[in-house]
Amino acid sequence: MTNTPFPHEPSAADAQAAIADEFGFFGDWSERYQYLIDLGRKLPEFPDAWKTEEHRLQGCQSLVWIVAEGDAGRLDFHSISDSAIVSGLVYLALRVYSGRSAAEIIATEPDYIASIGLSKHLSPTRSNGLAALLAFIRERARAALPE
């Protein structure tokens, strides 16, 4: 199932810059949270058959499922959450990393988190969940690289 809208931008760096620009339009965090919720609604359909313990992301308080497909040349990630805000966080991570090469994923630090002020406005449980999501993505990228 490689039906994915990602990547939108030609590189992970471009995706991070676009995210920073978009979040810069909002004056306060209530607007930014609403935008996160709206982004989460744009996640592509995630098959119910994938909502299994095998695909469940550990380390999240919310239910998050994630599936990786591809190889070192291109990794696609499919993910969904039962939480509206967490789905928005998933969307941002997939926008930066999905559809990229393993090397680009590993070389790209998630700078968008600090640049939009997200790190200061997430609860500790959401921060832990986001860290677990990013760790999963990076681990799959490392595993895809030839030895």
Active site residues per annotation: 60
Residue 54 CA to residue 103 CA, distance in Å, equals 25
CA distances from 33 to 2, 55, 87, 105 (A): 29, 26, 11, 26
Residue that is written with structure tokens 């991070």 in the block: 16
Q: Which runs of consecutive H residues, i.e. helices, occur in the chain? A: 12-24, 29-40, 84-97, 102-107, 112-115, 118-121, 124-144
Backbone angles phi, psi at 98, to 5 degrees: -75, 140
